[in-house]
A and B are shown apart, each in its own frame.
Chain A
Amino acid sequence: MSTAIAPPHDVPAEPRVNYLNASYGIKSWLLTVDHKRIGILYLISITFMFMIGGFAASLMRIHLLEPQGALVQPETYNRLFSIHGIVMVFFFLVPSIPATLGNFLIPIMIGARDVAFPKLNLMSWYIFITGSCFVLYAILSGGVDTGWTFYAPYSSTFAHTSVIAAALGIFIAGFSSILTGLNFVVTIHKMRAPGMTWFRLPLFIWSMYATSIIFILGTPVIAITLFLLGLERILHVGIFDPAIGGDPLLFQHLFWFYSHPAVYIMILPGMGVVSELIAAFSRKRIFGYAFVAFSSMAIAVISFLVWGHHMFVTGQSVYAGLIFSVLSFLVAIPSAVKVFNWTATLYKGSISYQAPMLYALGFIGLFTMGGLTGLFLASLAEDVHLNGTYFIVAHFHYVMVGGAVMAYLGGIHYWWPKITGRMYPDVWARIAATIVFVGFNLTFFPQFVLGYLGMPRRYAVYPAEFQVLNVMSSAGASILAIGYAIPLIYLIWSLKYGPIAGPNPWGAKGLEWTIPSPPPTENFEVMPIVTEEAYNYHE
Chain B
Amino acid sequence: MNDMAAHGAVHDAHPPGFAHQFEDVQQQRDAGRLGMWVFLATEILFFGGMFTSYTIYRSLHLSAFITGSHLLVVKFGAINTAVLICSSLTMALAIRSAQTGKSKNTIIFWLILTMILGATFVGLKLRFEWYRDYIEQIVPGINFVPHASWGADAGQVEMFMCFYFFMTGLHALHMVIGLGILSVLVWMTAKGRFSPEYNAPLEISGLYWHFVDIVWIFLFPLLYLIGGRYPGS
Residues of A whose CB lies within 8 Å of any CB of B are: 17, 22-23, 112-118, 178, 181-183, 185-186, 189-191, 216-221, 223-225, 228, 231, 234-239, 243-247, 250, 254, 257, 520-522, 527
For this complex, 13 residue pairs linking A to B, each with C-beta atoms less than 8 Å apart, are A113-B20, A115-B21, A118-B19, A178-B42, A181-B38, A186-B31, A190-B27, A191-B27, A217-B45, A220-B46, A223-B46, A228-B50, A522-B7
Check if A245 sits within 8 Å of B61, measured CB to CB. Answer: yes
Check if B35 sits within 8 Å of A116, measured CB to CB. Answer: yes
Contact partner of B159 (CB less than 8 A), chosen from A114, A191, A225, A246, is A246
Q: How far is the CA of A4 from the CA of B45 in the complex (A)?
A: 50
A183-B35, A224-B50, A250-B57 given; name 10 further pairs at CB < 8 Å. A116-B21, A118-B19, A190-B27, A191-B31, A224-B47, A235-B142, A237-B140, A239-B159, A254-B52, A522-B6
Contact partner of A186 (CB less than 8 A), chosen from B2, B38, B49, is B38
Check if A221 sits within 8 Å of B45, measured CB to CB. Answer: yes
Closest B residue, CB atoms, query A23: B1
Check if A219 sits within 8 Å of B42, measured CB to CB. Answer: yes
Closest A residue, CB atoms, query B39: A182
Check if A118 sits within 8 Å of B38, measured CB to CB. Answer: no
Asked if B12 is at the interface (CB within 8 A of a chain A CB), the reply is: no
Contact partner of A245 (CB less than 8 A), chosen from B35, B45, B60, B140, is B60
Chain B residues, Cβ within 8 Å of A114: 20-21
Check if B53 sits within 8 Å of A216, measured CB to CB. Answer: no
Q: DSSP class of B's interface residues: helix, strand, loop or mixed? A: helix
Check if B31 sits within 8 Å of A238, measured CB to CB. Answer: no
Q: Which residues in window 43-70 of B have CB below 8 A to A? A: 43, 45-50, 52-53, 56-57, 60-61, 64
Asked if B30 is at the interface (CB within 8 A of a chain A CB), the reply is: yes
Q: How far is the CA of A160 from the CA of B6 in the complex (A)?
A: 58
Interface string of B173-210 (1 = CB under 8 A from A): 00000000000000000000000000000000000000
Nearest-neighbour CB distance to chain B for A132, whole angstroms, equals: 21
Asked if B34 is at the interface (CB within 8 A of a chain A CB), the reply is: yes
Chain B residues, Cβ within 8 Å of A520: 3
Chain B residues, Cβ within 8 Å of A237: 140-141, 158-159, 162
Q: How far is the CA of A178 from the CA of B43 in the complex (A)?
A: 10
Nearest-neighbour CB distance to chain A for B155, whole angstroms, equals: 3
Closest A residue, CB atoms, query B21: A114
Closest A residue, CB atoms, query B156: A245
Check if A217 sits within 8 Å of B41, measured CB to CB. Answer: yes
Check if A231 sits within 8 Å of B166, measured CB to CB. Answer: yes
Chain B residues, Cβ within 8 Å of A527: 23
Check if A118 sits within 8 Å of B141, measured CB to CB. Answer: no
Chain A residues, Cβ within 8 Å of B46: 220-221, 223-224
Chain B residues, Cβ within 8 Å of A220: 42-43, 45-46, 48-49
Known contacts: A190-B34, A237-B140. The answer to whether A244 contacts B53 by CB under 8 A is no
Check if B141 sits within 8 Å of A235, measured CB to CB. Answer: yes
Chain A residues, Cβ within 8 Å of B42: 178, 182, 216-217, 219-220
Closest B residue, CB atoms, query A249: B56
Chain A residues, Cβ within 8 Å of B57: 245-247, 250
Check if A244 sits within 8 Å of B50, measured CB to CB. Answer: no
Q: How far is the CA of A253 from the CA of B22 in the complex (A)?
A: 41
Interface string of B155-170 (1 = CB under 8 A from A): 1101100100010000
Closest B residue, CB atoms, query A112: B21
Nearest-neighbour CB distance to chain A for B209, whole angstroms, equals: 19
Chain B residues, Cβ within 8 Å of A221: 45-46, 48-49
Check if B56 sits within 8 Å of A247, measured CB to CB. Answer: yes
Chain B residues, Cβ within 8 Å of A223: 46
Q: Which residues in window 121-167 of B have CB below 8 A to A? A: 140-142, 155-156, 158-159, 162, 166
